[in-house]
Amino acid sequence: MSDLVLHVTGARPNFPKAAPVIRALDRMRVQQTLVHTGQHYDAQMSDVFFRQLGLPEPDINLGVGSGSHAIQTAAIMMGLERVFVERRPTLVVVYGDVNSTVAAALVAAKMSVSLAHVEAGLRSFDMSMPEEVNRRLTDQLSELLFVTSPEAIGHLANEGLDVDRIHFVGNPMIDTLIANLHLFDAENARQRHGLSERYVVATLHRPSNVDDPVVAKEIVSALHQIADDVDVFIPLHPRGRVILEQVGLTTHQRIRVEEPIGYVEFMSLVSGAEAVLTDSGGLQEETTVLGVPCLTMRPNTERPITVTHGTNRLVTRDRIVEMYRQALSERTQPSPVPPLWDGEAGERIASVVVRWLEQ
């Protein structure tokens, strides 16, 4: 027997996007298989999300682990080819822009298996980011393109993709946020982590910010200046730890560096933070919905709607402290959240998939 819908996930940001889609398809009684590539494998980068988001145990874990881009992508492709031969899925669903996403897309295309891309059409127009390469290629190979934000439709059309394949469905990561809002307890989390009443949450993991010690030092020195005023909480992604520590991240008393933490704990702290400083993609969206000022330490964003409809500001390294102060002094009424970020994206995606399967 062949499987109907096979989801490929692998890295931390995939999990909150996949959970509502899997749940909605389950309600519609679609037969599903969940593959975890093992791109992320630490308990706090993976297992904790499965538990907290109610994701089913993966049916298959390829256990590929870390490596250079070529090694990791190739290992995922080899593993998935075996899985697709065995399971013969009708539709493969991939999420976001990580290496697991593009690897699955390439294998599906070469094996003539139909592909659906959740979070299609986002563009930073910065091909030095591995994620931009991953997104562009995945979109070209997808039969169903699920977009979270209206401008993505134009990007896909400009790249020659047939508009009939594009479905504006909203943002499934925001479904997860809304479904878990009642569990976020900022005050409790703040006290558990011993943070002062005013505090900032920071996350850093992009290669462009953490791989070069000169760049990393500039960011760390801005964080130190902010920590002169407030506690700065940093659940640190393992990727940049060595260099960030070498350039003095942990030497300020009010900078609190911890291991990565689970979804509910993290979003609790974010929801009570005075501001968030980050280079993450997803956090730009989550802070927009939570109404928490967000400073994105990047020259560009593939999520401009978080700037036009949200709390996000792009900051260059030399202006982090100035922009942080400005963001606090200019706190305005929250603008309406982007269209269709309403908690129903998973349902919409599942409905399109079911209609597609019926055809």
DSSP secondary structure of 273-335: -SEEEE--SHHHHHHHHHT--EEE-SS--S-THHHHSSSEEE--GGGHHHHHHHHHHT--PPP
Q: Which amino acid, 206?
A: R
Q: What DSSP character marks residue 59?
A: S
End-to-end CA gap in the chain:
19
**Cβ proximity to ligand UD1, 42 vs 86, nearer residue:** 42
The answer to whether 238 touches 260, Cβ cutoff 8 Å, is yes
Min dist CB 38 to ligand UD1, Å, is: 9
**C-beta of 287: minimal distance to ligand UD1 in Å?**
16
Give the residue with the Cβ less far from ligand UD1, 21 or 129: 129
The span from the CA of 25 to the CA of 130, in Å, is 30
7, 36, 167, 205: the catalytic one is 205
40 is catalytic: no
Which amino acid appears at position 204 of this protein?
A: L
Of 66 and 335, which CB lies nearer to ligand UD1 in the complex structure?
66
- In whole angstroms, the minimum distance from the beta carbon of 70 to ligand UD1 comes to 12
Per-residue CA distances from 198 to 83, 191, 233, 286 (Å): 49, 12, 11, 20
Smallest distance from ligand UD1 to CB 1, Å: 32
**Six-digit token string for 51:** 């538990």
Q: How far is the CB of 266 from ligand UD1 (least distance, A)?
A: 12
Cβ closest to ligand UD1, residue 130 vs residue 248? 130
Binding site for ligand UD1 (CB under 6 A): 11-13, 39-42, 45, 66, 72, 97-99, 130-131, 205, 237-239
Look up tokens 């790249």; give the residue.
Answer: 159
At closest approach, how far in Å is the CB of 67 from ligand UD1?
7
User: What's the rounded Cα separation, in Å, for the pair 7 and 33?
Assistant: 6
d(CA 246, CA 188): 32
Of the two residues 40 and 167, which places its CB atom closer to ligand UD1 in the complex? 40
Give whichever of 41 and 356 is closer to ligand UD1, judged by the CB atom.
41
Q: What is the dihedral of CA 181, 186, 192, 194, to 10 degrees?
A: 150
Instruction: Give the active site residues.
Output: 205
